[in-house]
Chain A
């Protein structure tokens, strides 16, 4: 992987396209987890890779490409949410709600059940996300939804590892109190 990054840094576009193939899914999911809006996730994923492509010649440590890419993604998501917040001030109350489209098609029972479970899952995740502070939410998602390690999270958020662990500890303490989510996870496991 580091070789691909070095090649891409040296201007090899095909190498960068292989990096896209490898990381597009991760970045798309990471953005979707935070926005819960499919089209916005598509646009932001595209934007993250375009930005990465434009600045990959400046990457200093190719082996940290994943952290570097996630840093761009985290910053883009934060920018997007900030702009959305500012825009919402100027919108009327009926325009301000960003409701996901409701699926009204009748589906086969297995798919319908999956749809119910899916909505239930994201409702639980949304509930715990609201209970966490911004930093707790970010470290929790990066660690357990995006599957990054403590060192990578520290690099992405430009914090020390001990700071990341402290926020993660607080987030886990709140997660443990979320009985419904934990029950949901336990039932799905069994």
Chain B
């Protein structure tokens, strides 16, 4: 047991904490004092004992593991686990997106082809109407008045109905009909 020199001050509380953490962090003089002063040593030991007992009690009052850890086989991911479910959901969502995108692109292509076909049909119908008008410009209502919509009017009948005036003076033509000129 060393004898403490009363002229040397004891370690302050801060230094005591420093000594508990790592006594080599103390200055040489403080380390020397600690080696010689039983009072400072006992203060340090008391604090160290409390902390050591804290660790021992924690160990005593903590439960033992219920089962031994096993790492023999890597866990197979169950599709019903949260991670498995999330993974499955992501996969399903990705599949839905791919299928939807495929259909969308296909529909767009089919839509453009459909539009083209519809335009062609419209154009054909328009041309048919024009051809009908060229053949017979009378609207249906007049044809109904005639009463014979499907009659085949030949050129002679037309000429009779609407005589041509090519090379024939208008007056003489009228005279032939017996008209009286004023």
Contacts and interface: CB of A to CB of B under 8 A. Distances in A.
Contacts of B156: none
B25 A125 contact: no
B55 A144 contact: yes
A165 B61 contact: no
Interface residues of A, number: 43
Given A45-B65, A186-B50, A29 B58 contact: yes
A185 B54 contact: yes
Interface stretch (B28-36, B69-77, B94-102): B69-77
A145 B58 contact: yes
A16 B71 contact: yes
A168 B65 contact: no
A176 B21 contact: no
A28 B65 contact: yes
Determine the main DSSP class of A at the interface with B: helix
B74 A45 contact: no
B67 interface: yes
A167 B66 CA distance: 34
Interface stretch (A49-57, A59-67, A88-96): A49-57
Contacts of A38: 63, 66
A168 B13 contact: no
B122 to A, nearest CB: 59
Contacts of A173: 17
B53 interface: yes
Contact of B66 (A42, A165, A186): A42
Contacts of B25: 165
Contacts of B90: none
A7 interface: no
A10 to B, nearest CB: 16
A121 interface: yes
B20 interface: yes
B20 A172 contact: yes
A155 interface: no
A19 B131 CA distance: 97
A145 B64 contact: no
B108 interface: no
Contact of B65 (A25, A50, A144, A165): A25
A92 to B, nearest CB: 21
A72 B44 CA distance: 33
Nearest to A118: B61
Nearest to B17: A172
A91 B180 CA distance: 113
A19 to B, nearest CB: 10
A20 interface: yes
A65 B65 CA distance: 21
Contact of B53 (A17, A122, A185): A185
Given A125-B58, A145-B54, A20 B21 contact: no
B62 interface: yes
B68 A122 contact: no
Nearest to A49: B69
A176 B71 contact: no
Contacts of A49: 69, 71
Interface of B: 13, 17-18, 20-22, 25, 47, 49-55, 57-59, 61-72, 74-75
